[in-house]
Chain A
């Protein structure tokens, strides 16, 4: 007769038994098992927040005008790129100033697929992922050779080189004249202009918004799962000390290659979607400023906190729009042309904000939230 093994149930093992025995509102920092800490939303509060956020996002198109919906769509699109930069820079610690280049590659791939190849827009998404991912793969050997600041400088060079390519490879990119991209349609409805799907009538931008909710949501889940799994732990180890990571058996080369490929592939996806939404792209869009804006999104939301980059993206997209609305009422803000235009004013604001966030609150909005939460959960003993 084989002895039956009694599993331990006392501390630190979770009590076995019904749900009644488990603490009802588990604090997300306190876990009794590795499994529970690794869960996607590892506390009731997080699950509730997620649910409310999703419901609010679903309700948004019913309330918002098409102009504000446009802001949401663009921030969802740029949010994918911001999250992927967060994976590369925040999680894996590889500072990249070249993210705009990959986004641009994705956009031009969409232009090539819908224009030169005259294919359906939806084919351009896998194509953009492939092209940008390949470009990331090509860059990664350099990233293993050079580290830290040198890597930042290499990626800075990448921005200028790719802009040169976008400007001069006229057969694919349209050169100075720019390129057109077919707006995607779904169920026979133009996603930007809207139309009727069965009993529902979609107004301007609503279709694209709903599609973007799905795509950004899926992208978030994919990246989140990469980060919380083994790959993500490898990346974090490489960030903290790549030499030490190598010593304890992390494949540093593989981890860096993976980080670059995954990150650039999602950047490409974001670029193709941006192209499909804007319908017209030009080489000077994919500049260093765009790369810095991605950095602002990441730093403002919270470096290393994937979802927070979405919040950063919303901020970076909304500010120029808000300033645009306010321009007639603020005397020192001019609406267009020379002088302090909304884009320039927001660039000044973003630049200062990037520096302030880095100096004062390295975890960005997420860090602020942590402080608030700490204050609330430890009240009245908040020292």
Chain B
């Protein structure tokens, strides 16, 4: 039983990180209609900027995350202005391919920066290996931090999208950009904000990826790649789907790591999300909560 509780807590923690990354994908997908692969690179950058600010500049963990959020939002904005906006009106595939390019460039650049990439690093969280008791079972305090902060962010985001004026505008743009513009929605500003929000979420997730018991290294970008199955399982355009998908992927990963037979090979838990994604796509091509695409000639 105690094994299960610690497994559930770590599943929730890693699932929350996936959910945060997945939300970034969904926000941009709803705004621009494209899968933004550069989100992966922005997340990695966010993690390393957190490290830079919190440990090298010694500003502390929270300030570090703030600095990373600002930088990542800026980079994400820049990607929108230079890649996504010029490609508006072209096939969505073009944006996807162009952002793949940006992602590769960004990740290679981060990997080439010596002070960051030479060894695995911890971004400077205050907990270290400290544990707290949950139902009498010791679990890492950082897990509890990750879960609670993600929950707050997710709830805040849903509230903002459902209840605020900007949220209404965002939903209007997601539904029909032209109609939204015709009714006076500042479409461009909404798009700007959506991409910046995605960068912010990426930075937060990046800092969590680098928080003990995880360590940050250039290969940590695969965290963000595994969030893509989470998005797809939930449905590319569903915020609810991203959260559920993230938690499902986190749980699958942790349980596969703990229970999978050795016959599945080393690191089977890291590919389990993709297997699940294939199964879900064959069953429901639009994901669990996504809207099926309506097509006409």
Contacts and interface: CB of A to CB of B under 8 A. Distances in A.
Interface in B151-196: none
B96 A95 contact: yes
A295 interface: yes
Contacts of A355: 82-83, 98-99, 101-102, 105
Nearest to A343: B108
A344 interface: yes
Given A244-B297, A354-B98, A157 B278 contact: yes
Closest 4 CB pairs of A and B: A168-B265, A354-B101, A351-B105, A351-B104
Contacts of A350: 101, 104-105
A120 to B, nearest CB: 31
Interface residues of B, number: 52
Given A149-B236, A153-B232, A164-B265, A142 B101 contact: no
A142 B282 contact: yes
A345 interface: yes
Q: Is the interface of B mostly helix, strand, loop or mixed?
A: helix
A103 B268 CA distance: 22
Interface residues of A, number: 49
A153 B105 contact: no
28 contacts: A97-B100, A142-B278, A142-B281, A149-B92, A149-B96, A150-B236, A152-B96, A153-B228, A153-B277, A154-B277, A156-B228, A160-B270, A164-B265, A168-B266, A169-B265, A243-B295, A292-B101, A338-B117, A339-B114, A340-B112, A344-B108, A348-B104, A348-B105, A348-B112, A352-B101, A355-B83, A358-B98, A359-B87
A224 to B, nearest CB: 24
B105 A154 contact: no
Interface in A135-181: 142, 145-150, 152-154, 156-157, 160-161, 164-165, 167-169
A351 B281 contact: no
Nearest to B84: A359
B151 to A, nearest CB: 27
B149 interface: no
Contacts of A165: 265
Contacts of A349: 105
B97 A295 contact: yes
A345 B271 contact: no
Nearest to B40: A288
B267 interface: yes
Given A97-B100, A351-B103, A355-B83, A160 B274 contact: yes
B257 interface: no
A348 B104 CA distance: 7
Contacts of B225: 156, 160, 288
Nearest to A242: B295
Interface in A344-380: 344-345, 347-355, 358-359, 362
Interface in B253-280: 264-268, 270-271, 274-275, 277-278
Contacts of A288: 225
A236 B3 CA distance: 55
Contacts of A95: 93, 96-97
Contacts of B267: 164, 167
Contacts of B108: 344-345, 347-348, 351
Given A299-B97, A348-B105, 16 more contacts: A142-B278, A148-B92, A150-B285, A154-B277, A156-B225, A156-B228, A157-B277, A160-B271, A160-B274, A167-B267, A168-B265, A295-B100, A338-B114, A339-B114, A340-B112, A341-B112
B1 to A, nearest CB: 32
Given A161-B274, A164-B268, A148 B93 contact: yes
B186 to A, nearest CB: 24
Interface in A200-258: 241, 243-244, 247
A351 B101 CA distance: 4
B277 A358 contact: no
A281 interface: no
Contact of B112 (A148, A299, A339): A339
B35 interface: yes
A71 interface: no
Nearest to B222: A160
A169 B103 CA distance: 30
Contacts of B56: none
Contact of A146 (B87, B106, B264, B281): B281
B109 interface: yes
Given A150-B285, A345-B112, A358 B266 contact: no
A164 B265 CA distance: 8
A289 interface: yes
B297 A247 contact: yes
A362 B93 CA distance: 12
A243 B297 contact: yes
A359 B84 CA distance: 9
A128 interface: no
B60 interface: no
Contact of B281 (A150, A341, A353): A150
B91 to A, nearest CB: 9
